[in-house]
Amino acid sequence: MKDCSNYGEKKGLGMFKLTCFSPVPAKEIGNLLKGFRFKHIANEFVWEVDGHCFRIVPFGTQGNSQTQYGYRVYFNGSIDGGLYLFELSMGCLNPTINAVEYDLIFKGKKQEDWIKDLLKRPSYTPQQVRGIFSKGNVNVICLPNQIVNLQIRKKHSKAFKLIELLKEVENIKEELKPVKYDLFSAYEEVVAI
């Protein structure tokens, strides 16, 4: 992902998505973020470097008399980098996090294939609706467009520790779509002279 400003409808694919609320309106956040080299692009605040992206997207229209303003925060790259930028940009604004999500893309694997696969895994509990499973706090939703959505939603007034939620989603992500390492690809035979 070289440029995150033109994802179109697939903006959040392959990125963590945080849904949060803050008492600070988008206009004020925009002024605060200018010092951190965020760009204001099409009603979004975007920070990019080396193919990594961090975006703050305000919910639709925001009135002047609201007490809370909604935002979606997207980021790719490492959890630590995303947390750092979240704290840098939104930490002082008293954000309340309501959801953590991640969309996995699986080309060639249909919704039915995922449902069958997850039904075979005893650690995934099927829910009342077909195609929705849970493991720990994470809900796994098999979508018909070759996407598996991982999400944790806020229940009641329980406080969230963001790092724990991100790691829990990351663990499920790695379990469902492991990163393949070839231990021998970097192997080089050296002859001592």
Say how many CA atoms lie within 13 Å of 97 toward its Cβ: 23
3-state secondary structure of 75: strand
Domain spans, the chain:
8-176
Spatial distance between the Cα atoms of 30 and 174, rounded to a whole number of angstroms: 34
Integer angstrom CA distances of residue 98 from 19, 41, 42, 84, 161: 6, 25, 24, 19, 11
The whole-number pLDDT of residue 127 equals 92
Question: Which CATH architecture is the domain 8-176 placed in?
Answer: 2-Layer Sandwich (3.30)
- Give residue 152's identity as a one-letter amino acid code: I
What confidence tens digit (pLDDT) does each residue in 156-187 have? 655 668 899 999 999 999 999 876 665 566 55
Q: What is the pLDDT of residues 9-59, one digit of tens each?
A: 355 678 999 999 999 888 888 888 888 888 988 889 999 988 889 999 998
Paired strand residues for 41: 44
Q: Which residue has the tokens 């829990």?
A: 168
pLDDT in tens, 103-115: 998 888 889 999 9
Number of residues written out for the chain:
193
What would the two tokens of residue 123 be? 């650690």
Three-class secondary structure of residue 58 per DSSP: strand
Nearest alpha-carbon partner for 62 in 35, 38, 30: 30
